[in-house]
Amino acid sequence: MTAAAEERSAPESRHRRNIFIVANNIEEVGGLQRVVHTLAEGFAERGHAVELIGISPGPPGARIEPGRGYQTMTLGPAEPAEWVPRGIRAKLRPVKQAKERFRRRVHARNVGRLQARFDRVEDGVVIVGQIWAMQWVADADTRHLRVIGMSHESYEASRGLLPTAIGSTRYRRIMQLYPPIDAVLLLTEVDARKFEQRGLCNVQVMHNPLPQWPDQVSPLTDKRVVAIGRLEPEKRYDRLLDAWKIVATRHPGWRLDIYGAGSLAMSLHDQIEEAGLVDSAVLQGPTKDPFSVLQRASVLALSSEQEGLPLVLAEAMATGVPCVAFDCVPGIREIIRDGEDGLVVRNRDVDALADGICRLIEDEQLRRSFGSRGRHNIERFRLDRILDRWEQLFEQVDR
Amino acid sequence: MPTPSESSTVGGLRPDVSVVVIAYNDAARLPEAVASVLDQTLRALEVIVVDDASTDGTWDVAQALAEAHPDRVRAIRLPENSGGCSRPRNTGIDAAQGDYVMFLDSDDSLERHAAKNLLLTAERTGADLVSGLCVRVNVTNENKRTRWYARLYAEHATYDSIRDAPELLFDTLSTNKLYRREFLDRNGIRFPDGLHYEDLLFSTEAYCTAQPIAILPVEVYRWHVVEDAATASISNRRNNIANFRDRLQIHQRIDAYLVARGFDDLRPIKDRKFILQDLKLYLTDLARRDATYQEAWLNMAADYLETVSDEAVVSAGPLAAATAYLVRRRDLDETLHAAELWIHGRLSGGLCLDSGRAYLTGRYLEDDLGRELLDVTALHLHDAPFSRRNMRNRLVSIAGDRTAELRGEINDPLRAIDADDELSATLELRTADGRHRVDIARPQVELTAQGTLTWRASLAARRRPPRMPPNVKSWGLWMTLHHGDSVNVSQVISTTDVTAGRRLPWKRSPWTGQSLLWVERGPGDGVWLRVERASKAWRLADRVWSRVRRSGVYGDLRRLFLSARSRGLKSLVYRSVLVRLPVRRGTAVFESQLGRVYADNPKYVYRALRSAGDNRRVVWSYTESTSGWPQDAVLVKRASWRYFYELARAELWVDNQGFPPGAPKRRGTKYLQTWHGSPYKAMGFDQPQLQFGPADKRAEFAAGVGRWTHFCVQSPFADDTFRRAFRHSAKSLPSGYPRNDPLLRYDAAAVKDLRAQLELPDDRQIVLYAPTFRDSDRVTRTRSGLRLNLARLSELVGDRCYLLVRAHYLDRGSVPTRYSSFARDVSDYPDTTELLLLADGLITDYSSVMFDYALLRRPMLFYAYDLELYNQTRGSYFDLETEAPGPVVKTEDGVAEWLSDFRTPHLAYAERLERFVDKFCTYETGHASEDVVREFFGVGT
């Protein structure tokens, strides 16, 4: 052991660990990426040696800025899709075969790069952010390391049961690659139990942390309802706008701001025009700082059809903003305690969503009590708390 | 550079868990068992191998393991063989150094995370004893897995003492558990030396002393089960009477222990477990034992059961209690009869009918307890029709050398058959899954003076065995008995080993060398035949063939061959050639549910067409067989060349689901889409698969819908919803559904005929259970199966109701024959309308039968156990809970409660039912078929 290393591990009585976090890509601006960067920075601050590894580069566009104290790397350019040859006709396709040979070489090279990082340490922990990335970790030799895998979606979504995830093969891959590793982390108790019943024996629950804890809470005086999230089909903003049509007629002074970019921008724009909501509903485009948006909001609405554990609810509650959400996945109730610090309404029921929003608009007292209780309750998502849980987990897998 | 972690080896540190692995003459499997421990994710553990003075190489293997892992494995050898598991395990406990102890047998293994999961649970809950799920794994087929007492391991739980969860006493294994070592030592809990079934006493003591007890609903232990094992493991050798004596002694010691420690209150549940598990195990093959064994066994069992309270006997449930009662009465014959009924569901003895009640035997009716326990009226054995009796059909002997003369007897305690009745029978071979059937003989059946039926069949030495499907490994022997119009099917069983080792007198197949061998014991006590493939040439051919199959060449050739007969080719010819042929004026093609049945709307349209005196040429398509289809129509197999030809030339198309997408409609053709039910669940483009699925699927669907010219609807609601869901522009016929005409034009005589034809009981309410198919089952490739516990329901409401089960065709066959007196699978019955007519009540969930059955204004229950998930995955058009014309329940208890009395709650729904009919069945008049025929065919007035 070198003197430098000794010095670094000495100041704290805590055990200094080598932590690798592996994710599909670490560059795209997305929920998962935000989580792994937050964790990496948190671990680094606590004195661990952290390296964040992306399997392939993110799609072109906005890049997430790495934080301080940890290294990042990407294994290499995206690998072509795997091709499994079947039958004699497959043998007559030299181009395909050559491509597949090439893919295997690229894959082997990428696994080799990963292996080189792993081999530089004698022990440590590998955290695999998504099941897809596990295919590289599984091909590497990790006998000297502990491996922890994560899955950030509900059981139904990974089984391919949900409308927005039809035909997902992630369940199959989870049941194939995750059983031997040291721990599998799921977002909610309900999902953990479902996987457990299907025979996965190493499941645990770990919440994602809030990236920051806002000092300022919203005054809850602006007549603004907000929604934050990508403009994609599974977010069902069309339903939110249907509900808003009802709200807008009852409370003309209020407005709805939707933050996010995505493929449905045009069609939502059309829907706003058709419904005659141009004055009260606005597509604001993406935001980099959700907390400053929330500090000027009075209600947050979530109309999704499919979510994992939607952190935007936790962010809103941390800012003291009460939420109304569809009861679409177990994760919703894991964040909001219905009637205590927010409202959970029947999934897909547009009228119920409108009623929920109206209830919060009409009753300022309710808004305030939900807001303050929510901020208190949601402390369990604070980074410090979550990092404590992680350190407990590290000790557990080390035994 | 990096800091090494301090716990990568146990080193000199004290381990958290000690795993005691016991072995006796098991050198081959010991390394695997130990490896499953060393491979645990918990590394702070030690392995203690205790060798019970083996005479093979076990000790060497154990020593080698200890040398290879000096800091984790220790090996101990007992000086002399102990003959059981107790002394080795006790030795292991004494040598253990870990805070916790687990046990593992050398032929089993631990799940990879077992030790850590158990340890963490123990630390979290502070439990002295943590019990995890044990899974029985078939060694030859890893996929055959059963969970041992799964109901006890449904969720995580912590109990302050065994009194909070006395049911745990049913799981008496010692191996799926983790014990605090200090707890075992402090309370002196050890295995009893010199007795088998040591687990029972050990785990009872541990359960009673541990505070708290934690339950881990996660697999921890893999119990490897070997089928047809030549050497049964110690505890399985039940043919020795001493074995049973050991078991009773253990139970006596348990009883003494319970009394001494003040746990008398647990005695009844322990006794219930004795009857349901221990006693049942021995009763299963008691009939095969010799007379001395049977007598000795009966006396020992009766002696013990005399110490069991009546309360415990009664709590074992109807037939089990009756059997235990008869054992206590030392009545061997009746015990065997009762056990056969209890375990196999077969009636082998007589029934005693007394003042309207049916009893297993008339012997002990003077005793109040006997009268109560022997009463089997609720099982409806006495009034079951011939076709639904589970009669015992026993193979008595096989004689002859070149020919096999089979003799058997059928028990007919109810004397259903008179001496001069016409009887005929077929002897057949069936595969276990019932998919293949081969007739092999026509036995002679005779009624003897004693009232039993005897049969004899002769299997002549044939030149060659009958044609049999390849790849079938074993066959069961079955008999079909025809008595007038009634048909009874029974499996041939044997209670004596008449069959062992004999060969069927058929010649070997020249190709495969196949011959059939009687099997001494197969699954259950049925007579089974094993297929023996002896010829070398065949084995070689088989190997080559499987190579070819695996290489994919076979698949390619097959695909090439099939593509010549494929729909793609037919569709091409259809579009390029057939549609240029002239249209045959007036010809109509009918189809129902893709040709699967002759039923539903098209059937009733067709009938009305014919009764209006129209004699046009009509083509009906079918998929499997033509039986049941009308004779005055041209019958064409679906998707055949002829079928495409007829489609191309017909002027009129009528169907309720969809003609093949590869057959676009010609311009002049009129297409009546009757559809098969109003919508509750998302349809057409509202279905998630289409909504979020690939664009070409959507295009194909749209093209299919685009062919429709006329569309039947039941209500404005359905009209609206379908128009949006299918985006169709066909002309709506506000006629209602033709299939519902019989419901509104109710014909009491016809219904009575139907009930008689189906042999339904007159004294009970007929309830139809018709659930929908779950899309999620297709995605996850599972079957929901029947979400009703028939055993429990028949106990609760068997005297009031009779259940007809209509599952989706993929789920059919879900009613075991032993419940035939309470429920019946009618999934294959073609016409739902007729079933609706005769049902006094309906249980459904999201099926469109609700819109049809509502017309009868009879009671309905909605058993929507997965309402949330269903709505989440499929989606629906209205809220079932607020609009349903009957109660919506989510649990089986709710179903049982409703079944016990559905007339009274029905009254409360009268108003809602009317609203429901108004909204969803608006157009129904009872003359839909005539309206449709007039509108579409222009026939009638």
What value of ipTM does the predicted structure carry? 0.83
Q: What value does the CA radius of gyration of chain A take, rounded to a whole number of Å?
A: 23
What is the rounded (10 degree) CA torsion for B85, B88, B93, B94?
140
Q: Is B403 helix (H, G, I), strand (E, B) or coil?
A: coil
- Say yes or no: A16 contacts chain B, CB-CB below 8 A: yes
pLDDT greater than 70 at residue A290:
yes
Separation in Å, CA of B233 to nearest CA in chain A: 28
- Is residue B522 within 8 Å of B528, Cβ to Cβ? yes
Q: What is the mean pLDDT of residues B381-408?
A: 80
Query: Could you tell me the end-to-end alpha-carbon distance of chain A, in angstroms, rounded to an integer?
Result: 23
Q: CB neighbours (10 Å) of residue A214?
A: 17
Q: What amino acid occupies position B432?
A: A
Q: What is the mean pLDDT of residues A233-252?
A: 88
pLDDT greater than 90 at residue A321:
yes
pLDDT greater than 90 at residue A298:
yes
Separation in Å, CA of A98 to nearest CA in chain B: 20
More confident residue, A166 or A263: A263
Partner-chain residue, chosen from A182, A348, A396, that has the shortest CB–CB distance to B120 = A396
Q: What is the mean pLDDT of residues A203-225?
A: 89
Residues in chain B: 941
- Is residue A143 within 8 Å of A115, Cβ to Cβ? no
- Say yes or no: B44 contacts chain A, CB-CB below 8 A: yes
Residues of A in contact with B555 (CB under 8 A): 86-87
Give the pLDDT confidence score for residue A137 in this predicted structure. 92
Task: Give the C-alpha separation, A243 to A247, whole Å.
Answer: 6
- Is residue A328 within 8 Å of A307, Cβ to Cβ? yes
Q: Is B550 helix (H, G, I), strand (E, B) or coil?
A: helix
Q: What is the mean pLDDT of residues B566-591?
A: 87
B875–A163 C-beta distance less than 8 A: yes
- Among the listed residues B733, B734, B671, B658, the one whose alpha carbon sits nearest the alpha carbon of residue B702: B658
B5–A163 C-beta distance less than 8 A: no
- Is residue B395 within 8 Å of B408, Cβ to Cβ? yes
Give the pLDDT confidence score for residue B1 in this predicted structure. 37
Give the pLDDT confidence score for residue B384 in this predicted structure. 79
- Among the listed residues A198, A195, A194, A55, the one whose alpha carbon sits nearest the alpha carbon of residue A126: A55
Least confident of A292-306, A324-338, B378-392, B722-736: B378-392
- Say yes or no: B553 contacts chain A, CB-CB below 8 A: yes
More confident residue, B525 or A121: A121
Partner-chain residue, chosen from A160, A202, A233, that has the shortest CB–CB distance to B779 = A160
Task: Give the C-alpha separation, B574 to B590, whole Å.
Answer: 18
Give the pLDDT confidence score for residue B9 in this predicted structure. 41
Cα atoms in the 13 Å half-sphere on the side-chain side of B1: 7
Selection from B200-204, B567-571, B691-695 with the highest mean pLDDT: B200-204
- Say yes or no: B776 contacts chain A, CB-CB below 8 A: yes
Helix axes A237-250, A265-274, angle to 10 degrees: 30
More confident residue, A4 or A292: A292
A399–B42 C-beta distance less than 8 A: yes
Predicted confidence band of residue B871 (pLDDT cuts 50, 70, 90): confident
Give the pLDDT confidence score for residue B273 in this predicted structure. 93
Strand bridging mode B423-430 / B437-441: antiparallel
Predicted confidence band of residue B614 (pLDDT cuts 50, 70, 90): confident
- Say yes or no: A143 contacts chain B, CB-CB below 8 A: no
Residue in chain A lying closest to B558 (CA): A87
pLDDT greater than 70 at residue A5:
no
Which tens digits make up the pLDDT trace of B634-664?
999 888 889 999 999 999 999 988 888 888 8
Partner-chain residue, chosen from B42, B776, B875, that has the shortest CB–CB distance to A161 = B776
Partner-chain residue, chosen from B3, B7, B114, that has the shortest CB–CB distance to A399 = B7
- Say yes or no: A169 contacts chain B, CB-CB below 8 A: no
Task: Give the C-alpha separation, B588 to A259, whole Å.
Answer: 58
- Write the burial class of residue B253 (CB in 10 Å: 0-12 exposed, 13-18 middle, 19+ buried): middle
Q: What is the mean pLDDT of residues A211-238?
A: 87
Residues of A in contact with B220 (CB under 8 A): 201
- Say yes or no: B143 contacts chain A, CB-CB below 8 A: no
Least confident of B121-135, B337-351, B798-812: B798-812
- Say yes or no: A369 contacts chain B, CB-CB below 8 A: no
Residues of B in contact with A201 (CB under 8 A): 111-114, 117, 218-220
Q: What is the mean pLDDT of residues A269-285?
A: 88
pLDDT greater than 90 at residue B400:
no
Least confident of A161-175, A185-199, B753-767: A161-175
A18–B688 C-beta distance less than 8 A: no
Selection from A367-371, B564-568, B656-660 with the highest mean pLDDT: A367-371
pLDDT averaged over every residue in chain B: 84
pLDDT greater than 80 at residue A138:
yes
B872–A162 C-beta distance less than 8 A: yes
Q: What is the mean pLDDT of residues B64-86?
A: 90
Give the pLDDT confidence score for residue B206 in this predicted structure. 93
A398–B552 C-beta distance less than 8 A: no
B556–A88 C-beta distance less than 8 A: yes
Predicted confidence band of residue B398 (pLDDT cuts 50, 70, 90): confident
pLDDT greater than 70 at residue A304:
yes
Q: What is the mean pLDDT of residues B305-334?
A: 91
Give the pLDDT confidence score for residue B234 in this predicted structure. 44
Give the pLDDT confidence score for residue A12 in this predicted structure. 44
pTM of this structure = 0.78
Give the pLDDT confidence score for residue B40 in this predicted structure. 93
Helix (H) or strand (E) holding A32: helix A31-45
Q: What is the mean pLDDT of residues A298-303?
A: 93
Which tens digits make up the pLDDT trace of B897-932?
888 888 888 888 888 888 998 889 889 888 889 999
